[in-house]
Structure 1
């Protein structure tokens, strides 16, 4: 199990790195689209009909991808004041409970995101001409990553491994 988890950690580390780069690229792309829209509107006195819906769609992706990576790496927003006064063994239990709750939230995001996408699939995003289901794809993708990363964190803790930074495993 331990060797499998080490190999799986390498894979999820690469997945997290790819998600982080994709989120960064999305942030840059969204900024460029908004800049282009402002330029075209105020300098050329025209409008890019696709700019706003595509920027919002891209924003959804970089928010959910970045949040999932933040959860995996333990850098996402958390409230650790109580953990600072707990013994180490209880901290591990509390982290595991937190990771299980995050995984449950990811399952909910995936299932309800899928349901919303199915209900909205017959509608079209104005300006883009694609199915409204694409609006919910970031929720589904982010939910899947949350489940994967939360499961990885729980399993790593169970076998006595933790991650300091991307891909560096150490004994607990």
Structure 2
């Protein structure tokens, strides 16, 4: 078990990353609850009172983007993302560590791309308003950028943990 898998073992920077991951997962859960409420209102307004509001679609997409991005980042922190777990189980300690570093490097690169391009797209569309809501057209890229940055931070942390001498001795 790594330090990031057990919050009671976390110290120093690991504790702050654990807090950050918990915030991300709580915000993702709130976004999912908001999504259900907004879609519930959309169905009620459309089929019961026959007055479909225009703001529900852009808000739903924003909430979905938030839930997806922050949930993915939290999954990186807790090592519940894609990986080669069956292969890793068959490898020796050194190869298992190397595979973990490769996987986390790929995740870090994906997070960096999401953070960088998401931020650029967010900034690029600030001056355009969304149809149906008073949001910038690019609002959906902001959670994508934040989630990507968190993925990058969490993946780099997992690389550092994997490369620690004690982690290598334990079989990581």
Q: Could you state the TM-score of these two structures normalised by the residue count of structure 1?
A: 0.86
Q: Deviations over 1:58-111 (max 9, x none)?
A: 100000100111111111233323222211221111101111111111111111
- Could you tell me which residue of structure 1 aligns to residue 83 of structure 2? 78
Distance 1:26 1:94 in 2: 34
- The CA distance in 2 between the partners of 1:25 and 1:67, in whole Å, is 15
CA drift of 1:161 comes to: 6.3
* Residue 119 of structure 2 is aligned to residue 114 of structure 1: yes
Contact 1:99/1:151 (CA < 8 Å) preserved in 2?
Answer: yes
Give the superposition deviation at 1:171.
Answer: 10
What corresponds to 1:58 in structure 2? Answer: 63
Q: Report matched runs for 1:23-172 at 5 Å.
A: 23-160=28-165
- Per the TM alignment, residue 160 of structure 1 is displaced from its structure 2 partner at its CA by 4.6
Q: Which runs of 5+ in 2 are unaligned?
A: 1-9
More displaced 10-residue stretch of structure 1: 14-23 or 84-93: 84-93
**2:81 partner SS:** coil
Q: Secondary structure at the match of 2:51?
A: coil
Q: How many residues align?
A: 161
RMSD, matched Cα: 2.0
Q: Is the contact made by 2:97 and 2:171 (CA closer than 8 Å) also made in structure 1?
A: no
Whether the 8 Å CA contact 2:111–2:152 is kept in 1: the answer is yes
TM-score with structure 2 length normalisation? 0.86
